[in-house]
Amino acid sequence: MLSSAQFAQNTSIGIGEKLVFTASYNMSGLMTDIAQVTMETGQVKTSKATLLHLKCTAATYAKWDNFFKIRDLYESYVSPTSLTPYLYKRDISEGNYYKFMQYTYSHKTNSVKSLMRKKNSKGQTYDKIATVKINGGTKDIVATIYHIRNLDIHKAAQGDTQSFKVIFDNEEMVINVKYVGKETITTALGKKECYKLALSLKNKNVLKGGSNDNLLYLTADANKVPVYAKFKIPVGNGELKIKSATGLKN
């Protein structure tokens, strides 16, 4: 098993970290750069707690905006020590499609209060509010990505796997993470020895292909920075490549 203590202390994610990626998509057989993805961390103080703010944005480059404009925002507000999420927001604007999701977690009752905002055919927004039961330890997609970076991967043996429950669009999904081994790759940050992880979704068709089609490379150091990812989805395949990394914790 990949090591993940129930009350794991956050040793990899600091305040003020900023990771910038180029997102590429296979268009007519050529991998084409179409968007920039940015992952940032900050600090937010409420009346009750100080939280770590995890923010992910995706925006198409200007030359692609007329073709298919993407402006996506994902945010999770989590405990700085355990990365337990308390609030999640997702604001999606892709072409003519719009959707806003918000989860307010209640860990005592293993549930989230969900707000979904969409547009109808006339362009008018409408809200749907629901309470969704979740399992203990279930996180949103953003908190899960950062949680995976905090695993004790250095203790894993080749082939070890672990599953994580993720709530997305008011449904729980199971993401399986398999440790493939170490591999050194060339990145914009230089040559990096990386932990190579294979990702799959249980009983879902969001990710396609085999074990080598959906991969995540994390630097084999204390920061475990995601420097490269490849994925295959129903409408094609793509890549994420790191451009820059600043404000790292270690």
Higher pLDDT, 48 or 99: 99
Model pLDDT, residue 201 = 83
Mind listing the pLDDT tens digit for each residue in 120-172?
A: 888 888 999 999 999 999 999 999 999 999 999 999 999 999 999 999 999 99
User: Above 60 in pLDDT, residue 225?
Assistant: yes
Mind listing the pLDDT tens digit for each residue in 12-39?
A: 999 999 999 999 998 778 889 999 999 9
Residue type present at position 185: I
Contact criterion met (CB below 8 Å) for 172 and 138: yes
Model pLDDT, residue 210 = 61
Question: Taking Cα atoms as reference points, which of 82, 144, 129, 136 lies closest to residue 110?
Answer: 136
Q: From the CB of residue 106, how many other CB atoms can be counted at a distance below 10 Å?
A: 13
The CATH fold of domain 18-246: YmcC-like fold (2.40.360)
Instruction: Round the average pLDDT of the chain to a whole number and report it.
Output: 91
- Enter the pTM of the model: 0.92
Tokens at 213, concatenated: 């089609």
Contact criterion met (CB below 8 Å) for 204 and 197: no
Model pLDDT, residue 124 = 87
For 147, phi then psi, to 5°, come to: -65, -40
User: Above 60 in pLDDT, residue 224?
Assistant: yes
Confidence of residue 249 (pLDDT cuts 50, 70, 90): very high
Model pLDDT, residue 233 = 76
Percent share of the chain, pLDDT over 90: 79
Confidence of residue 205 (pLDDT cuts 50, 70, 90): low
Confidence of residue 239 (pLDDT cuts 50, 70, 90): very high
d(CA 115, CA 101): 6
Over residues 225-248, mean pLDDT: 92
Confidence of residue 236 (pLDDT cuts 50, 70, 90): confident
Question: Taking Cα atoms as reference points, which of 145, 106, 132, 151 lies closest to residue 4?
Answer: 151
User: Above 60 in pLDDT, residue 4?
Assistant: no
